[in-house]
Amino acid sequence: MSGRQDFEVPSFMEKREISEMLFSEDDIKAKVKEIGALINKEYKDKLDGKPLIVIATLKGATVFFADLVRTLDVDHVWEFMSFSSYGMGSSSSGAVQMVLDLKMDIGGRDVLVVEDILDTGNTLKYMIKQLWAREPKSVKTVVLLHKTEMTIPGVSAEFIGWEIPNHFVVGYGLDFAQKYRGLPYIGVVAPWVYQNPTDEKLKSDGSILSGDVSPMLNPADQKK
């Protein structure tokens, strides 16, 4: 990890919002290239003339997805899915609902799911179950980050970038209340940010006040 390296933030942020950088832009580029090579090796000469269906889960995986597919040397097509978890309070109940479904038939096809982070695994478990119900030839998953201590039994990924502790991480597509997705590195949010989401500076984009996202008070609630 790159925690002790210095990092910059955009002009609309305060540097104290990020307590440390875990992975730099160069770290991520190297890791994505490494994962892409493993995927190419896995699917080379195994697709029976049909392109691999690569599915990005919106919104968090989009940056990782965009970089990853450009490393692929196997024929592939893109698809997108989105899921939401609903709860009565500030964190998810763990109940998952699909809000964007696939457009194409995956029956008899090889499918690769691209996720930004594997946390509890509730969403991924639900997603994989939905995909297998459509009778694909295979379903495999690639995740950039895996919080191993948080994941429920029976949920895993075939391709994993990094295993990380239970930190609240942002950047490179990962967010807190829709903020920080555009950071080119992956960093840890300072605890005061998610423990005090009523801070006026954090409400300036309207994301918390508008009800778009429930504020998460525990790193374990980052993604279900």
Is 175 catalytic? The answer is no
Catalytic member of 119, 199, 205, 212? 119
> What single-letter amino acid sits at 52?
L
The residues carrying an active-site annotation are 119
